[in-house]
Amino acid sequence: MAYVIGVDIGSQSIKGVLLDESGSTRAVASAPLTMRHAQSCWAEQSPADWTAGLSLVVRQLLEGRSVRVDMLGLASQVDGVVPVGADGAPLRDALIWLDRRATAQTEALVAAAGEDQLFRTTGLNADASHSAPKMMWIRDHEPQVWRETRRLLPVGGYLLAWLTGTCLQDPANASSTMLYDLRTGDYDPQLCQAAGIDPAMLPAVAPATRIAGRLTASAAEALGLPRDCEVIVGTGDEHAASLAAGVVAPGIIADVTGTAEPVTAAARELVFDDGRLVETHGHAVADIYLVENPGFVSGGSTLWLAANVLSVPQSAVFELAAEAPAASDGVLFVPALTGSTAPRWNAGMRGSFNGLSMNHSRPHLARAVLEGCAYALRDIVDRLDSLGLAGDEVRIVGGGGRSPLWCRIKADVLGRPVRQVLSQEGTALGAAMLAGIASGVFRDVEDAVEQAVQLAPEPITPDPAATVAYAESYTRYRALFDGVEGALA
């Protein structure tokens, strides 16, 4: 029996799944990752940690099993930048998606290209989270590194080159650069010129399911796989997670709950949000666009609260939150610890608690964080609905989807049903589904969804009384956001 492996290269961890020929998950594995935050809005990771974690996860999946793995697929965090030299080795740690230091470079790109033209070409907001400004920051602040740089690779592109020696990325990753033309499916020469980035330094664009090559000898040895195991181009993490939620055609919203919380919907035609809350990206699925907000810090907020305020394990946040009532007795939290993407994009926005009094305790803080993330989710779902992209339910995939309480809060805040995706490690599963399509395990995307995606039998429907309470609290939340944003301006 042939097997495929899918791996999710995330921010806090690397996760993997092993699928058999029937599309059933036979094993899961994970390895932790760390982020470094040297300054406010800086976020870096070591590429050596990715390769070590990837090797550990694949070996864990294979442990005690005599199986033949034909295909490997990666779903990687987007918006990262790894400058590599002529030998393919990284010249510095990666600037990852959470890093928004390159505000001056973003402004320079807007001045050179024009904000409206940039948006109408790329579908993206001009924001320092995207990768072109990060490339420009390295050029402007680290000239020695820049002189030695031969390629500027995303996270997935770096790992693909490490695995196969081939330098490619899919439309999902390429469309987060702020240099990619959604209409032509390639980098835009004028935007590259405005950014001062030679497009030859960027990976060529190829479909997510294209076979990039076989494992190199060194990668095969590190992973414990045979040399003839093939690797697909792969895709971005929220794109794979959307696939694992069945978002392969219009009518379904995916809420991807990880360190960040991307919210996505599929569109067959180009959609541009003039309100600039959601962006338009390429998808891992051919001829489909992914309209999404790339995510506010949600799981990252629970991690921050657990480690720095409550001094408890991250899982205990959910246990504490269950002890507080809906709307947290008036306590509010704005999930903007690294800037905001909802209800408005603002790299200078910061997180905030409000409404605290002597009767409040740790459970109120814990629940307020979960509710604040649900309010940000509502901002995005309401916008997708106004664009005609929302269906009957929101599907929740990722680590946060394992919390019945958080799913219940979201249903009540949204006032619409939510359904849990039960498939283990959704993002890694999406990567494995793409690998399975390439290897012939699945006939096509629709077959992969039918065979591999597992949904809760019934959705969680909103409680009318809680929905009323949350509607009032949401109004106060939006007023708080406006006030904090104004104070920081």
Residue 336 and residue 232 share a domain: no
Residue of 81, 79, 77, 204 whose CA lies nearest to 142: 81
What are the residues facing 419 on neighbouring strands? Answer: 395
Task: Quickly state the pLDDT bin for 178 (edges 50, 70, 90).
Answer: very high
Instruction: Provide the token pair at 201.
Output: 């330094």
Residue 254 and residue 150 share a domain: no
**C-alpha–C-alpha distance, residues 216 and 228, integer Å:** 9
* In-domain check, residue 435: no
Name the H helices within 123-274. 131-141, 143-148, 155-164, 171-174, 189-195, 217-223, 237-244
Q: What is the pLDDT of residue 140?
A: 98
CATH (domain of 75): 3.30.420.40
Which of 238, 256, 289 is at the close of a domain? 238
* In-domain check, residue 409: yes
**C-alpha–C-alpha distance, residues 55 and 225, integer Å:** 10
Whether the per-residue pLDDT at 274 is higher than 90: the answer is yes
Distances in Å between the Cα of 217 and the Cα atoms of 163, 209, 223, 234 are 9, 22, 10, 20
Residue 217 and residue 139 share a domain: yes
Whether the per-residue pLDDT at 1 is higher than 80: the answer is no
Positive or negative, the CA dihedral 171, 172, 174, 178 is positive
Instruction: Provide the token pair at 187.
Output: 């980098």
- At 364-386, the pLDDT tens digits run 999 999 999 999 999 999 999 99
Residue 174 and residue 131 share a domain: yes
Residue 223 and residue 295 share a domain: no
Which of 203, 238, 273 is at the close of a domain? 238
Residue 269 and residue 155 share a domain: no
* In-domain check, residue 436: no
- At 147-159, the pLDDT tens digits run 999 999 999 999 9
Residue 265 and residue 192 share a domain: no
Residue 143 and residue 35 share a domain: yes
Distance of CA 485 to the CA centre of its chain: 25
Task: Quickly state the pLDDT bin for 457 (edges 50, 70, 90).
Answer: very high
* In-domain check, residue 438: no
DSSP-derived pairing of the beta strands 260-267 and 235-236: unpaired
Mean pLDDT across 327-342? 96
* In-domain check, residue 449: no
- At 31-69, the pLDDT tens digits run 999 999 999 889 999 999 999 999 999 999 999 998 999
Residue 374 and residue 266 share a domain: yes
* In-domain check, residue 179: yes
Helix (H) or strand (E) holding 84: strand 82-84
**C-alpha–C-alpha distance, residues 388 and 217, integer Å:** 49
User: Position 225: which residue type?
Assistant: L
**C-alpha–C-alpha distance, residues 461 and 469, integer Å:** 16
Residue 250 and residue 234 share a domain: no
Residue of 15, 131, 105 whose CA lies nearest to 427: 15
Report DSSP state, residue 308. I
Residue 111 and residue 252 share a domain: no
What is the three-class DSSP state of 116?
Answer: helix
Q: What is the pLDDT of residue 347?
A: 86
* In-domain check, residue 374: yes
CA angle 334, 340, 343 (to 5 degrees): 80
CB of 415 within 8 A of CB of 390? no
* In-domain check, residue 272: yes
Residue 377 and residue 479 share a domain: yes
Q: Peptide bond before 343: cis, by omega within 30 degrees of 0?
A: yes
Which of 238, 273, 300 is at the close of a domain? 238
- At 59-109, the pLDDT tens digits run 999 999 989 999 999 999 999 999 999 999 999 999 999 999 999 999 999
What is the three-class DSSP state of 96?
Answer: coil
Whether the per-residue pLDDT at 478 is higher than 90: the answer is yes
| Sequence-distant (≥ 6) Cβ neighbours of residue 263 within 8 angstroms | 253, 254, 255, 256, 278, 292, 293, 295, 377, 380, 381, 384
- Domain holding 183, by residue range, is 2-238
Q: What is the mean pLDDT of the chain?
A: 96
User: Position 359: which residue type?
Assistant: N
How many domains, the chain?
2
CB of 47 within 8 A of CB of 157? no
Residue of 132, 15, 10 whose CA lies nearest to 76: 10
Strand intervals (E) in 237-331: 253-256, 260-267, 279-282, 289-297
Task: Quickly state the pLDDT bin for 23 (edges 50, 70, 90).
Answer: confident
| Sequence-distant (≥ 6) Cβ neighbours of residue 236 within 8 angstroms | 75, 76, 77, 78, 156, 170, 172, 173, 176, 281, 284
